[in-house]
Amino acid sequence: MGTAVDAANKVVNESLPSEKKVTVIFVLGGPGSGKGTQCANIVENYGYTHLSAGDLLRAEIKSGSENGTMIQNMIKEGKIVPSEVTIKLLERAIQENGNDKFLIDGFPRNEENRAAFESVTGIVPEFVLFFDCPEEEMERRLLNRNQGRDDDNIETIRKRFNVYMESSLPVIEYYNAKGKVRKINAAKPVEEVFEDVKAVFIPLHEKVVYSFGRIL
C-alpha cells in the first residue's frame, strides 16, 4: 500500500524537468473575499493562467490514477496531504501549460506550505495579491451565497475564518516584511475592487522571471 512519501515521489517522477521561465503571483484572501471572481478578471484581461491547489487535488483524485487514489485515501483517513504532493501538482501544471504567467489561488495556506514551495520549485513569487476584507462582510457574502442564516452555516463559516486567520496571515506577514504584498480593499463592489487590481497589474511590464530551481 502506498504512503504519503510514495505519493509525493510519484508526482515528482511525473513532473517535467524543463527549465521553463515563469512568473508566479500568489492570490490570498479569506473565504468570501471575492478572490475567485477577481482571478477570473485577471485571467481575462492580463492573460494569466489560474491555478487552484484544491482543484488540482480534486482533478488528480477524479483521474483515478494511483497517485489520486493515495490522495483520496489520505483525505478519507483525515490525514493532511503533504505539502510536497500539492506543490508537485502545481509544478506539473505550470510545466505542462503553454503560458508563463500564473495566479496560484489559495496557496500557500500556511508557513510550511510557503517554505516548501520555494524549496521544492525554486520559484519566488513576483508578489502576493492579498484581498483584505472585514470578517463581517465575508460572513454576509457567504451566508447570501448559501441562501440561509441557520446556526450551522454561521458556525461553519466562523471556523473557516479562524483557520484562515491562524494559518494564512503569517504567510502574508512574511511576504509583507519583504515588500511583496499588494493589498486590495476587497470590501468594495466587484467593479471597484477590479479597478484597484488593475492599478497593480498595469505597471507590471518588465517581469522578473524564474526558472525551476534557480533565479535567472
Q: Is 188 annotated as a binding residue?
A: yes
DSSP character at residue 212: T
Beta bridge partners of 27: 105, 129
Q: Is 158 annotated as a binding residue?
A: no
Q: Is 29 annotated as a binding residue?
A: no
Q: Is 180 annotated as a binding residue?
A: no
DSSP character at residue 48: P
Transcribe 78-137 into DSSP letters: TPPPPHHHHHHHHHHHHHHSS-SEEEEET---SHHHHHHHHHHH----SEEEEEE--HHH
Q: Is 79 annotated as a binding residue?
A: yes
Q: Is 101 annotated as a binding residue?
A: no
Q: Is 134 annotated as a binding residue?
A: no
Q: Is 62 annotated as a binding residue?
A: no
Q: Is 107 annotated as a binding residue?
A: yes
Q: From CA 174, how far away is CA 29, in angstroms rounded?
A: 15
Q: Is 68 annotated as a binding residue?
A: no
Q: Is 35 annotated as a binding residue?
A: yes
C-alpha cell at 18: 524543463
Q: Is 131 annotated as a binding residue?
A: no
Q: Is 160 annotated as a binding residue?
A: yes
Q: From CA 59, how far away is CA 63, in angstroms rounded?
A: 6
Please state whether the peptide bond connecting residue 134 to the residue before it is cis, i.e. omega within 30 degrees of 0.
no
Residue ranges at the known binding site: 32-37, 58, 79-81, 106-109, 113, 145, 149, 160, 188
Numbered residues of the known binding site for a ribonucleoside 5'-phosphate: 58, 79-81, 106-109, 149, 160
**Annotation: binding site for ATP:** 32-37, 145, 188
Binding annotation for CMP: 113
